[in-house]
A and B are shown apart, each in its own frame.
Chain A
């Protein structure tokens, strides 16, 4: 029988919009293919354990597993060079709309965070005996769009029966890390004890955003959302972007179905049409196709009024750093 060895693995999602086909509707499928090929090379070279490439609307996500930890220059540099090369070799050649629009700087300086343009969600953890992962990506919205569903997943027993029934969750609940993106400050608050305070903050999703959630009894990290503090440039706060997130499920964390349940209600989110100047319902969307061989999932298009805002969910079983799956979950 195979012995189970706990292993520290890092799951990194780095995403960018490097051009739309047409307008802000979709990612060029060739760009997904290019990215998947580059990641396959790095899997062979040993930098990555596994990977998957997918999009929602005009945003491409690179999902990578490795053992290098968060904020690793090799991993961030790899994503940066893929975005750069795809911009030069494909997006600019066929004149995609807004080619390279998320690559705000010319040079890479070790970390993709802090104003380079692409968004990052990363989590390093010890693999549990079974490790179900749900990855989310949304287009035509902002990171705060996940506030309401994530609150309901981890703090609302009417969404998550496990908060009442499962001793591991019932014991202490969850600790929420909330980032004030204007002031660059972090709030640590516990549910259920401080749920009124949590809601007082996250009810303003353009400013207070749930970034990480921990199980209180042992501080196991359950989720991470791509969000950074905004930069005040010429009197305007900039840096808001279409979000991605990672959620771990089961074994004392919410079940996969409890995680998805919160998305059955299409709440109103900001970020639709013309620089995100409209509000619309967050629609759970299906993928167009999933190619297991090439590790590419082609996501939904943004059409009506460039939307509506859409969210996709892909489910994996992580084992020894390998991504088994995915299954389109909504």
Chain B
């Protein structure tokens, strides 16, 4: 009689884990809908070594007190997005 068994045992293959799988799938579906917003995305401390800070550092903010004094002018003429010229890219000079 052959008694050796050379395959591993699939330990989570148990109906007792079915509910956990369902719950995890529901949470996945739920939290994915938060997109790039915390707490689905990690907090800024944890993003420090990703490329996000580099992207945000290109934006140009306005001091709030100055802004509140001349709000109408700012919203008409100013954007925090730097123009295409100023962003990094191949130069052709």
Find out whether the CB atom of B75 lies under 8 angstroms from the CB atom of A188: yes
Find out whether the CB atom of B75 lies under 8 angstroms from the CB atom of A219: yes
Interface string of A192-205 (1 = CB under 8 A from B): 01101101111111
Find out whether the CB atom of B64 lies under 8 angstroms from the CB atom of A268: no
In this complex, the interface size class of chain B, counting residues with CB under 8 Å from chain A, is 20 to 34
Find out whether the CB atom of B79 lies under 8 angstroms from the CB atom of A200: no
Shortest C-beta distance, A104 to chain B (Å), equals 20
Shortest C-beta distance, B57 to chain A (Å), equals 10
Chain A residues 306 to 327 lying within 8 A of chain B, measured CB to CB, are none
Asked if A44 lies at the interface with its beta carbon under 8 angstroms from chain B, I say no
Find out whether the CB atom of A203 lies under 8 angstroms from the CB atom of B64: no
- Which chain A residue has the least Cβ–Cβ distance from B68? A186
Find out whether the CB atom of B34 lies under 8 angstroms from the CB atom of A197: no
Shortest C-beta distance, B82 to chain A (Å), equals 10
Contact of B38 among A185, A200, A203, A229 (CB under 8 A): A203
The interface residues of chain B lying within 8 Å CB-to-CB of A120 are none
Contact of A207 among B33, B34, B44 (CB under 8 A): B44
Beyond A188-B79, A204-B43, A214-B75, is A179–B36 a contact (Cβ under 8 Å)? Answer: no
Q: Residues of A within 8 Å of B, CB-based: how many?
A: 35
Chain B residues 25 to 76 lying within 8 A of chain A, measured CB to CB, are 31, 33-41, 43-44, 52, 55-56, 59, 61-65, 67, 72, 74-76
**Interchain residue pairs with CB less than 8 A apart (16):** A175-B75, A180-B61, A183-B61, A184-B65, A185-B61, A185-B63, A185-B64, A186-B61, A186-B62, A186-B64, A197-B80, A200-B36, A200-B55, A201-B56, A204-B38, A229-B64
Q: Which residues of B contact A (CB under 8 A)?
A: 31, 33-41, 43-44, 52, 55-56, 59, 61-65, 67, 72, 74-76, 78-81
* A-B contacts besides A186-B67, A196-B55, 11 pairs, CB < 8 Å: A186-B63, A186-B80, A187-B59, A190-B79, A197-B80, A201-B56, A203-B35, A203-B38, A219-B75, A219-B76, A268-B40
Q: Which residues of A contact B (CB under 8 A)?
A: 147-148, 175, 177, 179-180, 183-190, 193-194, 196-197, 199-207, 214, 219, 229, 265, 267-268, 270, 279
